[in-house]
Structure 1
Amino acid sequence: MHIKLSHIPLRRGALALQMAVASLTLGGAAHAQQAPAAPARDGQTLGLVTVTAGATGPSEGSGSYTTSGSTSATGLNLSIRDTPQSVTVITRERLDDQALQTVFDVVNSTTGVSAKEIDSVRSYFYARGFQIDKIQLDGIPMPGANEGEAKADTIIYDRVEIVRGATGLMSGTGNPSASINLIRKHADSKVFAGSASLGLGSWDKRNGVVDLSSPLNKEGTIRGRVVISAEDKDNFIRLENTKKTLAYGVIDADLTPDTRLSFGFSEQRDRHRGNQWAGLPIFYSDGTRTDWDRSTTTAANWNFWNTKQRTAFATVEHRLANQWKLQFTANHRSNTGDQRLNWMDGMVDRNTGLGLEPWIIGYGVSDKQNDVGFTASGPFELLGRKHELAVGLLHGTHKTLWLSSDASVLPPIGDFRAWTGNYPEPKWAPYQTGSFTRDTQTSAYAMARLQATDALKFIVGSRFTNWERKGDQALWTANAFKIRHNGEITPYVGALYDLTPHTSLYASYTSIFDPQNYRDKSGTYIDPLKGKALEAGVKGELFDGKLNTSFALFQIKQDNFAIPDGNEVIPNTREQAYKTTSGTKTKGYEFELSGELLPGWSASLGWSQFDSEDASGKDINTAHPHKMLKAYTKYRLPGAWSKLAIGGGVNWEGRSYAEFIDPRNGKPLQVGQDSYAVASLMAHYQFSPQLSLQVNVNNLFDKKYYANQIDTFKNITFGAPRNVLATLKYKF
């Protein structure tokens, strides 16, 4: 954005114009800085003044379902239309309207992304047929899924940016699915501001949130923000109860007009009791299919799964006189999990309820990650045109320790039809080390946006990565090992052509390199995923940027793709073992629009569809749907009813399935979920500028459906029945 102020007459004694220049952090938080004042004499006119704002800023308070830009795809501060990949931004407004309170909720409502549960704590996310194996915090990849990452609370985030396609340029390693980038809230207010809310919902759900911002000195150059959240709820599944607490604090300080320091800390603790591990049996012993009530559980009343997520971060940003920006970041993450779990294996007799055996185990997990990075970005001139360049260095270590505790022998389950969870807790053996791995990654990247003509732009860059994983001999790894990949090059090429001032054609290409966390039947990690990803499409930016639209075609070719290895499991576990296949190919298309259609009417609509086959032409990755529709809209009534806003949406998924062996005849059998839709409604009433009440209804028509990825444990879990949440909110 450029605002030109020229030939403005200034009266005698008038102060010089003070320019507010938006300065952006890597995560998109903005602050204002003042240009030095210059006196003007009577009768003089002020020369040309340009006020420049970057493409990305906080979405909080915008009231919009879209943003003007994103840095997640390329590291450059680009508008969504100028980014040669599919980008979805879930703004703070939409997070609040849909009551998307966890990362799982967000992913489940995002175009082209599928979210499937494993159990009460863990989930798998997929896009374009491939697993999203990393969530990012302000652009820093965060591997892991066992310490509550999927159920992390979204209240501390300004927005969530999802880039679909290969994202190795910014993450160093990555498969061609998507990146999910959680952008933290910051302390941007120079006056005291905040909100408090209370929520009541189905299954005795109760939650409360306090979010406060304040200047910490008279000038407002040092500001602080605190977010505290607590929740207590039961579940539609018998025995389950969850208690959650979250605390987040951040300080943003303008050390000079050109230098900003941000540092903060967060901690989320989840306490699950009576939680189900894996799911329910698919078959009766006669080979026919089960049909359980949604409240049925295999958990014992002593089951528990506790998680704790801690993060600490610091960022220093400095703006140079030539419009370049330098930034240093440091991040620490420490996530832990502690579990005592009962699962049931086997097939139950339809008439007697017998046949299930207990599978009882205790786990402990500790995930620690440290990252430091440096980035520099800014404009440069070449051949009479202005271009942009971004370079970066990132070094990170990630250590994961798994502990395992066996249980004493317990009596049979008995008649499962009479199961209440009242089952004796075993004596637990001392912990053994299941596995201990240490990953180290050092990366450097460079990315340039080249303005070839007024209408044609190229985005070119590459990333250089050294990656290493070391593992100790342990219960799940027969021998110590070291895996190293040095000098991996991830190129990126994109082109954009402006058809009109508001419409662009684009195309992009990148390679794929992703060390995988899947293991084979011997417990050895499978080879890294490698391949190529192509994408092309058209993007529109309408109504002065209030509405973004896109249509994309994509094709992905891969080697070393992981597929389930029949009924094989990882040694000393019950988890599925995998093998690799090469020559896989995926192709498909996506459509999305998001933003304001008319004054007071916001909407998001997305359709995605793809086919994924191995070298022989057989469909792969069928446990996640290949067709999805995600739609949501909100309308604020006009005139005398303007205090009322109503909204609603629908998530539709095509068929998904896994292949099993039919216990009746030994032949292959497809087990899965037919296509289905889940609808939601919302009503928001603004009693005053400060006080509001919002009611959200989920699964409006009480659809019964499988919610899990069936091939993980070869069991089933159900999605939540119809449920209601009412939230009373007061803004200071």
Structure 2
Amino acid sequence: MKNFLFLFIFACSFSSLWAQTGQISGRVTDSSNKPIPYATVMLSGTDHGTNTADDGSYTIENVAPGRHTVVFSTVGYGTIKKNVVVTANKTSIVRVSLKQQQQQLDEVVLEGHHVKYISRDPSTSLRLKTEIAKLPQNIQVIGGELLKDQQVTSIMDGVIRNVSGVTMREHWGNFASVLMRGFRIPAFKNGFNFNDTWGPLADDMAFVERIEFVKGPAGFMMSAGEPGGFYNVVTKKPTENRIAQVSLMAGSFDMYRAAVDLGGKLTKNGKLLYRFNALYQSSDTHRGNEESERYGIAPALTYKISDKTSITTELNYHNAESYLGSAYVFAPAADGYGSLDRDFKFTDTNYPATEINELAWFTNFKHDFSENWGVESQFALFRYEQEGNSAWVFDPDGPGPLNAVNDNGDVFRYANIWDALSLGKFFQTYLYGKFNTGNVSHNTLAGFDFTEREYFPDFFTGFFPVDTTALFNIYNPVYGNTPDPVFDRSLGIKERTGNYEPYDGFTNRSFYLQDEIGFLNNKVRVTLAGRYTNLTTVGKNENDTKFTPRAGLSVDVTPSLTVYGLFDESFLPNFGISRDSEPFDPVKATDIEGGIKGQFFDGKLRASLGAFLITKQDIAISDPEDPTFTFSILQDEIQSKGIEFDLQGEITPELSVTLNYANTNVKVTEDSLFPQNVGNRIAGHAKHLTNGWLNYSFAATSKLKGFGASLGYQYQVDRSTWSWGADDQSDLPDYFRLDGALSWQNKHLRIQLNVNNLLDEYLYSGANFANYIYWQSEPGINGRLGVTYTF
């Protein structure tokens, strides 16, 4: 609280610098009083303005006192101008109704006001109604245009490069293990926590509208989440605007892909809207003999019961094949990383794929009581099922893989069963509203969360040593003489995992209350909130309960500069058991952070600079004295601290940019069992991490109109990725990757070529383990060509 008091006094000392300004608010509707989202609202003769939200509301802040003309426009509707007088420290209300036009507006579309790579507001699934730049938290959004320019197909395809301090550790092939601020963060979808120990399936970008990275515990979502934060995948929703788009792609390693995106009105009155996405992809890898397929569909419907009430339901289904564990390469420690060819294949040519099915169903109900008050409820069902196997190495003379790789290159390989079933039930309801008490504004949020998760993995009932005739030698590999692994699946997976008891899981019931209090015409915003959590963890006889507070401060030092501070806590289940077969109490963590957010070039370029300190206590880690890796011990405390910088937007109307840098340091700060570990680094991050992406699109007046070019880089210094049971002090070299793209588009057609790893570097991640090392390589220079046609 001393930090917040100091920050408040510091911010208030700049009050003499504040211009006495007012703001303009209102709502834009059509002739039937239906809200018009994404309409452009501008002050005539300036670049100062905004776009309407989903409910048609808008607010233009920091408007100089006096008479102004406000221009309202959007595609398919007529333009309206309204005169308004703005008074200092007051809000002027302007509501308009736009008339629909039959003719197309052609080049009158206000492209000059559209800014690439910037999202002004969080999605509704984050519940917050405040503009991102004014929130006392670091939230970064990866929008559809950036995903399109980088031509990524899944979240494992380099998406994380667009956010400071985010890395991905080694993977089995089916899910993205994303780390932020040094901790693995959970995967949310439409506001629900779908995370598993070994899942969920990596999201395909064909169904994705945007991805939101929320840093810190975020009590307003799920204080039982990881203190490093989470990422929230927002799927494509039904829309009134007609969508008809087909995309085809071909790339290196026999990658072929097709996707379709359809949407619009199903009824003339616009009460029933739809969205339908589908995809199919087949591909190999740079290692070869790993041909796989992936397909999925995502239908969605919205029914507008009235102008104030709507219900949306959607289904996401994916089927995917994955070669679990096949990306790993093992070698003697003396040889060093990258001692084998980057296309070296460790598994046999007939190594079978694992089949994965994932199904998610969402239903959302929304009702607005008035312009300022509303309620939203949603529920979801989730099912993830996989059947297959995974590859690793083992020591034939003892438990665990301690001596599985010999100095002469002989390796003991095996495949084990790798089946899993993950089930989830979710429900959320929350009330939001705005009101004033005198000159003080209130933006309130109250809600209830329910989460029930069960995870049934079978990694142990089947073990198949593949080196039945001769050891596999990495220096003289022989392929094709290994029989297919055979496992007994006569019992269902729940029976195999122990009388229907899940391996891990929890039930969470949480209540949340928040008030964002605005002072001095909302230039100073104080957030006070609290969450009560009742947590039931598998294997524990008693429930754990805790109240976690949240406090934030956000101050507009100038109209384009905001400082903020935040204190938040998290409370999450602790999976694992001790040698006495006793479960552990939940993990507790606190986050203290603060920073500056700035807007430049009339809001076209946005930047944030912040610092954080996370303290995490009672963390279950592998017992270093257990060679079977079955039991865990508690580490008393670790801390993660660092600084983060993010920049997105337009430098000029033609040049768009995203740039970030993070300095992250995660270490053990208390360890009563092994005090010698204090000061040791925790794996899962790079100490210095910076990424950039530049996109240049030629102006409409240029002879090269429609052409564009992009160039991006990823640079990691002093990195330590995940190490399974090994010393966290891995000795990985620095990582630098350069990517580029060329594109051309007109009103209907877009053609794009992306080339990754332009310098053809041998890139990998890995770790030390006892007497050997392992790593996963990335492909050399590779590319993909995409063609998209919009009808």
**Shorter-normalised TM range:** 0.7 to 0.9
Q: What are the Cα deviations for residues 460-504 of structure 1, in whole angstroms up to 9, with x where unaligned?
A: 111111110224xxxxxxxxx445212x11211001111111111
Cα contact 1:470–1:483 (8 A) shared by 2: no
Which of 113, 126, 135 is the equivalent residue of 2:187? Answer: 135
Q: Is the 8 A contact 1:521 1:570 kept in 2?
A: no
Query: Does residue 1:697 correspond to 2:755, yes or no?
Result: yes
CA deviation vs aligned residue, 1:299-350 (integer Å, no higher than 9, x gap):
2313322111111111111111252111111111111111123333345445
| Structure-2 change in CA distance of 1:505 and 1:363 (3 Å) | same
Question: Any gaps of 5 or more consecutive residues in structure 2?
Answer: 1-22, 39-51, 58-82, 86-91, 98-110, 395-402, 671-677
> What residue is the counterpart of 1:106 in the other structure?
159
Q: 1:95 aligns with which of 132, 147, 163?
A: 147
Corresponding residue number in structure 2 for 1:548? 606
* 2-structure distance, mates of 1:199, 1:153: 14
Q: Secondary structure at the match of 2:703?
A: helix
Q: CA deviation at 1:107?
A: 2.2
Secondary structure at the aligned position of 1:717 is classed as: strand
For residue 175 of structure 1, the aligned residue among 209, 213, 226 is: 226
Alpha-carbon spacing, 1:197–1:154, altered in 2? closer, same or farther (3 Å): same
Q: Name the counterpart of 2:786.
A: 727
> Deviation of residue 624 (structure 1)?
2.3
Q: Which amino acid aligns with 1:199?
A: M
Give yes or no for the alignment of 1:579 onto 2:658: no
- The more displaced of 652-661 and 630-639 is 652-661
Partner of 2:703: 640
AA aligned to 2:261 is: D
Q: Distance in 1 between matches of 2:147 and 2:55?
A: 23
Contact 2:251 2:784 in 1 (8 A): yes
Please name the residue that 1:230 is paired with.
280
Q: 2:533 matched to 1:465?
A: yes
1:168 positional shift: 3.6
Task: State the Cα distance separating 1:73 from its structure 2 match.
Answer: 10
Of the structure 1 ranges 77-86 and 713-722, higher mean CA displacement relative to structure 2 is found in 713-722
Task: Give the match for residue 414 of structure 1.
Answer: 471
Q: Is residue 491 of structure 1 aligned with residue 530 of structure 2?
A: no
Aligned ranges 1:370-519 → 2 under 5 Å? 370-403=425-458, 404-407=460-463, 411-416=468-473, 417-430=476-489, 432-433=496-497, 436=502, 437-454=504-521, 455-471=523-539, 481-482=540-541, 484-486=543-545, 488-517=546-575
Any idea what the Cα deviations from partners look like across 1:652-674, whole Å, max 9, x if unmatched? Answer: 111224799999xxxx8954311
1:187 maps to: 238
Q: Which residue of 2 aligns with 1:205?
A: 255
Residue of structure 1 in register with 2:289 after alignment: 239
Maintained 8 Å contact 2:720/2:728: no
Separation in structure 2 between the aligned mates of residue 684 and residue 711 of structure 1, nearest angstrom: 44
Relative to 1, partners in 2 of residues 1:562 and 1:4: Cα closer, same or farther, differing over 3 Å? closer
Could you tell me which residue of structure 2 aligns to residue 11 of structure 1? none
Task: Give the CA deviation at 1:525.
Answer: 5.0
CA distance in 1: counterparts of 2:784 and 2:129, whole angstroms: 37
SS at match of 1:94: helix
SS of the residue corresponding to residue 439 of structure 1 reads strand
Give yes or no for the alignment of 1:360 onto 2:393.
no
Secondary structure in 2 aligned to 1:716?
A: strand
Contact 1:211 1:225 in 2 (8 A): yes
Deviations 1:229-253 (A, max 9, x none): 0100000123222210010011112
What does residue 298 of structure 1 align with? 346
The one-letter amino acid paired with 1:212 is: L
* 1:297 aligned partner, one-letter code: K
Instruction: Choose which of 386, 409, 426 in structure 2 pairs with 1:337.
Output: 386
Instruction: Say whether the 8 Å CA contact 2:362–2:381 is kept in structure 1.
Output: yes
Task: Write the letter of the residue equivalent to 1:111.
Answer: S
Aligned to 2:216: 165
Aligned to 2:54: 30
Deviation at 1:569, TM superposition (A): 5.2
Deviation digits for residues 527-573 of structure 1 (CA, Å, limit 9, x no counterpart): 4221321011111123333222111011122211344543745567x
Find the counterpart in structure 1 of residue 107 from structure 2. none
Instruction: Give the superposition deviation at 1:30.
Output: 2.7
**Contact kept? 1:73, 1:85, Cα under 8 Å:** no
Q: Residues 85-140 of structure 1, C-alpha deviation per residue, up to 9 Å, x if partnerless?
A: 111100000011112221223224422111122222244221112221x2111111
Letter in 1 for 2:587: L
Q: Secondary structure at the match of 1:396?
A: strand
Give, in whole Å, the separation in 2 of the partners of 1:553 and 1:538: 10
Counterpart residue number, 1:477: none
| 1:190-248 CA-partner distances (Å, limit 9, x unpaired) | 4x322101101000100001101131111122111100101000001232222100100
In the TM superposition, what is the alpha-carbon distance from 1:359 to its structure 2 partner?
Answer: 2.3
Do structure 1's residue 655 and structure 2's residue 722 form an aligned pair? no
CA distance in 1 between counterparts of 2:728 and 2:317 reads 45
Q: Is the CA contact (8 Å cut-off) linking 1:287 and 1:662 kept in structure 2?
A: no
Residue deviations 1:148-186 (CA, integer Å, cap 9, x gap): 53x220221111110112224411302221210111111
8 Å CA contact 1:522–1:570 kept in 2: the answer is no
The separation in 1 between residues aligned to 2:776 and 2:424, in whole angstroms, is 32
Deviation at 1:17, TM superposition (A): 6.7
Residue 685 of structure 2 aligns to a residue whose secondary structure is coil
* Equivalent-residue separation in structure 1 for 2:30 and 2:189 (angstroms): 41
Q: Please say if residues 559 and 584 of structure 1, whose CA atoms lie closer than 8 Å, have aligned partners that are also in contact.
A: yes
Distance 2:465 2:667 in 1: 44
Q: Aligned residue for 2:35?
A: 21
Distance 1:620 1:565, change over 3 A: farther
- Does the Cα contact within 8 Å between 1:554 and 1:588 map onto a contact in 2? yes
Q: Could you list the per-position Cα deviations for residues 37-71 of structure 1 after superposition, in whole angstroms to 9, with x for gaps in the alignment?
A: xxxxxxxx999862499xxxxx9x96620111225
The aligned counterpart of 2:618 is: 560
- Aligned-pair CA distance for 1:517: 3.6
Contact 2:529–2:549 (8 Å) recurs in 1: yes
Q: Whole-Å Cα distance in 2 between the matches of residues 239 and 569 of structure 1? A: 33
- Distance in 2 between the 1:5 and 1:615 partners? 52
Match of 1:257 among 276, 300, 307: 307
2:177: which partner in 1?
124
State the Cα distance separating 1:276 from its structure 2 match.
3.3
Alpha carbons of structure 1 residues 292 and 525: separation in structure 2 relative to 1, 3 Å: farther
Show the counterpart of 1:155: 206
2:741 counterpart of 1:682: yes
- CA separation of 1:29 and 1:525: change in aligned 2, threshold 3 A: farther
Q: Tell me, in whole angstroms, the C-alpha distance in 2 between the residues paired with 1:537 and 1:624.
A: 21
Note closer, same or farther for the CA distance 1:189–1:567 as it changes in structure 2 (3 Å cut): farther
1:126 alignment partner AA: L
Deviation larger for 97-106 or 66-75 = 66-75
Q: Would the aligned equivalents of 1:305 and 1:338 in 2 still touch at CA under 8 Å?
A: yes
Q: State the partner residue of 1:591.
A: 645
Matched AA of 1:414 = L
Amino acid in the other structure paired with 1:507: G
Is the 8 Å Cα contact of residues 75 and 447 (structure 1) preserved in structure 2?
Answer: no
Which residue is 1:41 aligned to?
none
Alpha-carbon distance between aligned partners in 1 of 2:781 and 2:625, rounded to the nearest angstrom: 35
CA distance in 1, matches of 2:575, 2:268: 51
> Does the aligned pair in 2 maintain the 1:660–1:670 contact within 8 Å?
no
What is the CA–CA distance in structure 2 between the aligned matches of 1:46 and 1:552, rounded to whole Å? 38
Distance across 1 between alignment mates of 2:33 and 2:734: 55
Q: In the TM superposition, what whole-angstrom CA distance separates every residue of 1:505-530 from its partner, at most 9, and x where no partner exists?
A: 11010122121345556776544221
